[in-house]
Chain A
Amino acid sequence: MDLGKIGFFQLAGTRLDYLAQRQKLVAENVVNANTPDYQARDLKSFDSVMEGIRPVEAARTSGLHLVSTRSTAGFREAGKAALWETTPSGNAVSLEQEMIKGSETRDAFALTTSLFQRNVQMLRMAWRNG
């Protein structure tokens, strides 16, 4: 059974991937909260994914071309994330901002998973034996 063939599940799956990636970036930012010259990174908004904008990839026109080492499933990173403050050492990670982003991500994740579950439940209900 491939749930990805149903529109809603496909979108929900993409959204969950996006949120996981964003959470990873937030964690990286927090880890580097004291690294000099490190700038906080963030993903582009989910709208750009919705509009079908995918990351640019090199086309392989011959079998001799090297395969890209970057993951193809990634989402676009925002070129210039909105930074709140920069310390004298050049570090531009604001822990408060990361906390906000983290809780946003968590809320969206919970909403998406519960919607996913509800829809699966409805499907299950429909094909249950009477």
Chain B
Amino acid sequence: MIEMSVGRVAAAYAANRSPFVGGLAETQAAASPLSSVGQTDAVAASAESDFGGFLDKSISQAVETLKESERVSLAAVSGKASAQDVVRSVLAAEMTVQSVVAIRDKMVQAYQEIMRIAV
């Protein structure tokens, strides 16, 4: 599954914005209840990666999960994998596909919304 913490994403996103808007985002993040959970992560995240890097990492993690699931499925079909292994990896792959598709849909939706803005 994709490892995702809301605080991390917000911090990575804020780090990628311009200083003025970034300051605004930070004050908003501090006001939200989620910030206390992700605060320590957030500092580390903004130091080590930007939003694009975070997405990159998550996507390659997702691809890795799917590959693992396929490997286990092939072993199971030829009768060499235990049932619990198969269930675990297939469920993980399914959840990953679901989350990736959900995120993709959101991104397309956002893009369409931006394109609809009358200039």
Contact = CB atoms under 8 A, between A and B. Distances in A.
Chains A and B form a bound pair: yes
Interface of A: 7-8, 11-12, 15, 46-47, 50, 108, 111-112, 115, 118-119, 121-122, 125-126, 128, 130
B76 A126 contact: no
Interface string B38-81: 00000000000000000000000000000000100110111100
B109 interface: yes
* Interface of B: prevailing SS: helix
Given A46-B79, A112-B77, A130-B104, A8 B97 contact: no
Given A8-B77, A115-B76, 8 more contacts: A7-B70, A50-B78, A115-B77, A118-B94, A119-B73, A121-B94, A126-B101, A130-B109
A7 B83 CA distance: 21
Q: Which 9 A-B pairs have the closest CB atoms?
A: A130-B105, A122-B97, A15-B77, A130-B108, A115-B73, A118-B90, A12-B77, A11-B77, A125-B97
Contacts, number: 45
B32 to A, nearest CB: 27
A108 B77 CA distance: 8
Q: Which of B76, B77, B79, B109 has the most CB of A within 10 A?
A: B77
Contacts of A126: 97, 101
B98 interface: yes
A128 to B, nearest CB: 7
Contacts of A7: 70, 74
